[in-house]
Structure 1
Amino acid sequence: MKKFLNSAESFVADSLAGLAAAHPALRVQAEGPDGPFVARRAATQPGKVALVSGGGYGHEPLHGGFVGVGMLDAACPGEVFTSPVPGQILAAAQAVDGGAGVVFVVKNYTGDVLNFQMAAELAAEDTGVAVETVLVDDDVAVRDSTWTAGRRGTGATVFVEKIAGALAERGESLADVADMGRRVNANSRSFAVALTACTTPANGKPGFLLPEDEMEVGVGIHGEPGRSREKLASAREVAALALDAILAEPLFGAQGERQDGVEVIAMVSGLGATPLSELYILFHEASRLLAERDISIVRSLVGNYVTSLDMAGASFTLCRADDELLELWDAPVNTPALRWGL
């Protein structure tokens, strides 16, 4: 294993320190026994709903890279691929509550769901902070796994945090912001393909073995198995595999049929070790395949947004858009990983 480390034990703390050093608008709150959280340095405006998310480290820029104006108010990192703990989440919620309540954005993994749920209960019982939860479950690759009950939460998390975050910046209510997050999740689907496994710093070796001429189709962002293991294919074939799985969902109309007026926000995210040049090839193929079905890409992201350490691969996410979602998508955002309109 070759990685830029001081030690496996200090990996998360050292990385968070670098995030804060590179982005002075952020702070890392590390006091207390439960673990650190990343928050905006500026206090939450009174009356503004706060957004808090989090999950195991290793998916950067998710979540800490999306803390800032127009998105999250705080993010709670666990150890690598390990859920943050309830006390950590509760401390973050209390720190950023502006009096209007907090929305938890939670990826559908068992540990995340349980710990954020416990934090929400503690907030209601002990602090008086009102909490609403948005569960993200957009991955169509598998319905249930050893990690989840139901679909896994992946790329749509970025869309939920951006669009619900924009509504929160407008000063809308806790219920409205949470409902918008749920609406974005309901409109979004994802699918990923891996060419290699990832290597966690503590383990020092790949999480699974994948022959040079094979790929994992429908892989999870922790390296969980997907739908199948297949022979390595061209970028066009990979894009078709992913989009066929996504477009099989009723959300996008009848499978295989041309659509009339369907508009989507599309993201092709690298999983950590895929060159941007290859991601653009995949995006080109995806855009061509969608155009053949009269589905229009009206906004797009290509790059590393939801990763899995050093895994080579890519995930595809589509969100069916309308005028309101696009207006919120276009609203100003200023975070380490997303910036426009300011």
Structure 2
Amino acid sequence: MSDEGQRSPLLILFLVVLIDMIGFTLVIPFLTYFVQDLAEADGFVDMASRDWWVGIVLASYTLGQFLFTPLLGALSDRVGRRPILMFGLVSNTIFLISFGLASALWMAIAVRFLAGAGNGNIAVTRAYIGDISTREQLPGRMGMIGASFGLGFMIGPFVGGVLTDPANAFGGPFDTEWWAAHPYFLPCLTAGLLSAISFLLAIQMLPESLPAEKRRVKSEEEKGLKAVLRNLVGVRDLSPNVRRLVLVNATFLLAFTMMHATFILFTGMPIEDGGLGYDERMNGYIFAYVGLMGVIVQGGLIRPLSKRFDVRQLMIVGIILTSIGLGWIPYLEPTPLAIGLLAMTFIAAGNGLFQPSQSTMITTEARAMGLDLGRV
């Protein structure tokens, strides 16, 4: 596929990852308050219990992705990337909107779990990039996808913070009992509609990247879901280098996800209790800043850096920077804000270096070993 022919699918892939990250990060500014409202309605009145449920709801999305992304990636090696990406966008649309209507804790947990389970788009997108890119093109294109990751991280929290509680924030047509009773529905509806638009664009403009003759062919006795699941137990058929990269990525993502869960609790906690005392809008601005830094690093810096330095070096530097930022968080004070933003800059820059570098390394290694890209 020529560069001109690849331009359209790359733009659609950029949009797919952007929507995916908007859907994941949209809930960050208001999740604490939403779940606390649901927990209180379900009888959990003390702060410790409500904060525990915040972690459960946030973890349910990650758990769904952890369990089902390998399956969706393996299926993309069999049926092609396009159908799995379409499925993820439809899933995104349905469950983003549904989350805003959740009226009980069990419903919020179930919806977020199903949203994660049905959406393996980031992993499949990376496999798509691997299908259509040369080794020289990989760092830049993974950086482009990483930039959409950062942009989604910027837009999602901003939308989630600004559009929360429209009955009080905007009034007018939103000044009704229904909107007052569903203060978190508007940001979820907005993200769901964006996902639907992305789906419609993908139908028209996203070709299949994995030709039929290159899709994984199994013998009759190995066909079926059971065989796919058996191979997914994770990593037994992967090379040692790929196994190590998968483990590094899983550990990094675990730390990043834990930061999401604890940071929103820390920022939302009253100052007198040791927190930062931020509201949902301030949380949105903080995470939007993180996303902006991610866009700068992954969209503008990763390509020239990858030409000057080895991607392994960039990945290691990314881990170190992220570790510094994460270790700094517990010592933050409400003021000055600039110190908090500096800590978040370390996290954003570290993640911006790590993600495209790790993706490039694992794709290159998997391709050299003749492995199916969807599996890794």
TM (norm. structure 2) is 0.22
Name the structure with the higher strand share.
1
Bigger Rg, structure 1 or 2: 2
Q: Which has the higher contact order (CA 8 A, sep 6+)?
A: 2
TM (norm. structure 1) is 0.24
